[in-house]
Amino acid sequence: METDYQSTLSPSRTLTAGIGNDCEDPYPSLSDYHDYEPNLEFDDTELQTTSNNVSRLLDEKLDLVSSSVGAGMDYLESPVSDGTIEENFEEALVDAPVIESADDLAALDAELADEEDYLDISRHGIVEVVGDDSAGRKIIVVSACKLPPVGKETFNHAKLLRYLTHTLDTFVEQDYSLVYFHYGLTSKNKPPLSWLWQAYKAFDRKYKKNLKALYLVHPTNFIRIVWQIFKPAISVKFGRKMMYVNYLEELAQYINLDQLIIPPQVIEHNEQLLMKNKKNLPASPPQSAVVTPVGTTQFGASLQFLKENNNGDPIPPILRQCVEFLDTPDALETEGIFRRSANVAVIKELQNRCNQGLPIDFQGDPHIAAVLLKTFLRELDEPLMTYELYDEITQFQTLSKDERPRKVKILILEKLPEDNYQVLKYIVQFLSRVMDRCDLNKMTSSNLAVVFGPNLVRAPPARGMSLSAIGPINQFIDFLFTYQDKIFII
């Protein structure tokens, strides 16, 4: 029997996220009331009178870059970053390069971006959104080697900038990390320095505030010189979020490389660097002396294994412990619950203790329990919505509104394994109570779908998740959350 979903449709609720907060609270407010930020103003005439000098200076710097490449300069040292530094508002940048043509001005018009077709940009795979890092933050990957050569085909760099902001708009309201693979950027496909500066300006406070870590992989002399050019005008706090990574093995300390879509040429370049610089390889971390008892392992195990070692209970102990801690008024009403990250070292320690069968303490912090819950789902040996269902889920957008209720019920009730169904039902019913308090915690069904989509649905390992799959997955999960009382059998 089919249910009339349209009659149960509730008014849509949207989140208006603040983009400014100067306090040192590690979990800043997401509301407009607390996040008021004054506008910065500067004399526009100064820009006009100095534009010619700026253009000449950039040309000189670009010549310096070209002459320095291949000079054998050393890699940059990796600065220390805890990944939790908050961005202060930027000073007015009076020396910004001026876009000269009307086409360039139109290219940065946000009103055009909403209705624009980005297929010609997205097909290159320059930008990809993958899983979460070790702190539960979304990972966005940018690969320079996928930029097409200038001249062989018409490639609109201004449109690429709009595509970058369009992609980030989905994720900037929560903490995220950015991985930039620099290898493959050559004189043939390199954007002009003026474009790089315009990109920095375009990514205003709302993009920079929740960016917790920027990993620059395989840095070269070009990166070093560009940094020196822009450093005087770039926020010190933003600079501290940057981490220079010489080898993929260093990146693996922060991010599970299996999640990333690493271009083959980047992997090959990394291997060549390893062969060339064996004496400079990072020391392998010491192996833990503690042997994890197999029967108590929870992170990285299968649902079947967890059930067999939990007296037949389909709900894993750590999942139940996280939900019970979060299912209290104070935790449910925490602003930004499931959106904020937590201390990486704390999460790793709790994972280790959990896998050893030792008691764990959330330290009274709902964000720690929330990140641990997401981490558990992300590290299941197979996603809760199994690999077999991935294609059907990513085709959700192609279904008509009338077809969606029936198709989703068939998928959940008939095609999902029983243990997966029980765990999914347990999680979704808990999240419905989170949504009931969205006026306080700012987490609507769509916001939760953005957070949980990649943790519940993952592409088969051999394929990897493309950027085009993110939208359908989030829509499917949003539908699941919105109509959970009609889909799951009580």
- Which pLDDT tens digit goes with each residue over 342-390? 888 899 899 999 999 999 999 999 999 999 999 999 889 899 999 999 9
Q: Looking at the structure, tell me whether residues 307 and 254 fall in a common domain.
A: no
Residue 353 belongs to a domain with what CATH number? 1.10.555.10
55 falls within a domain: no
- Give the torsion sign (CA, 39, 45, 48, 52): negative
Same-domain pairing of 323 and 471: yes
* Per-residue pLDDT tens over the stretch 78-133: 333 333 333 332 332 333 334 444 444 344 444 344 445 777 777 788 888 776 77
Distance CA 80, CA 244 (A): 10
Domain boundary residue, one of 276, 294, 326: 276
Q: Kindly state whether residues 271 and 136 are assigned to the same domain.
A: yes
- Domain-located, residue 148: yes
Let me know whether 264 and 381 are in one domain: no
130 falls within a domain = yes
**How does the average pLDDT of the chain come out, rounded?**
74
Domain shared by 248 and 370, yes or no = no
Residue listed under structure tokens 């037949």? 312
Sheet of 211-217, strand order = 127-132, 138-143, 176-181, 211-217, 242-245
Name the pLDDT band for 135 (thresholds 50, 70, 90): low
Which range, 13-27, 137-151, 218-232, 317-331, has the best average confidence (pLDDT)? 317-331
Task: State residue 116's pLDDT score.
Answer: 55
Confidence of residue 234 (pLDDT cuts 50, 70, 90): low
CA torsion through residues 208, 213, 218, 222, sign: positive
- Is residue 352, in this structure, part of any structural domain at all? yes
CATH number, domain containing residue 167: 3.40.525.10
Given this model, what pLDDT does residue 291 score?
46
Residue numbers of the domain that contains 470: 303-487
Residue among 137, 342, 353, 367 at smallest CA distance from 255: 137
Number of domains in the chain: 2
Residues 442, 384 within the same domain: yes
- Residue 464's pLDDT is what? 62
Around 182, how many Cα atoms within 13 Å sit in the side-chain half-sphere?
19
Predicted pLDDT of residue 197: 74
| Lowest mean per-residue pLDDT among 15-24, 98-107, 280-289 | 15-24
> 145: helix, coil or strand?
helix
Residue 52 counted as domain residue: no
Please give the pLDDT value at position 8.
Answer: 42
Pairing of strands 138-143, 211-217: unpaired
- pLDDT for 56: 52
Determine, yes or no, domain membership for 175. yes
Which range has the worst mean pLDDT, 50-64, 117-131, 406-420, 450-464? 50-64
Tokens standing for residue 483: 């109509």
Looking from the CA of 279 toward its CB, the CA atoms found within 13 Å total 0
Shared domain for 260 and 174, answered yes or no, is yes
Does 307 lie in the same domain as 240? no
Kindly indicate the confidence band of residue 70, based on its pLDDT and cuts at 50, 70 and 90: very low
- Same domain? For 239 and 364 the reply is no
- Judgement on whether residues 336 and 430 belong to the same structural domain of the protein: yes
447 vs 153 pLDDT, higher one: 447
Q: Is residue 138 part of a domain?
A: yes
User: Would residue 91 count as lying in a domain?
Assistant: no
Query: CA-CA-CA-CA torsion for 90, 95, 96, 102, nearest 10 degrees?
Result: 140
- Note whether 173 and 339 are within 8 A (CB): yes
Confidence of residue 465 (pLDDT cuts 50, 70, 90): low
Q: Are residues 146 and 266 in the same domain?
A: yes
Q: Are residues 270 and 310 in the same domain?
A: no
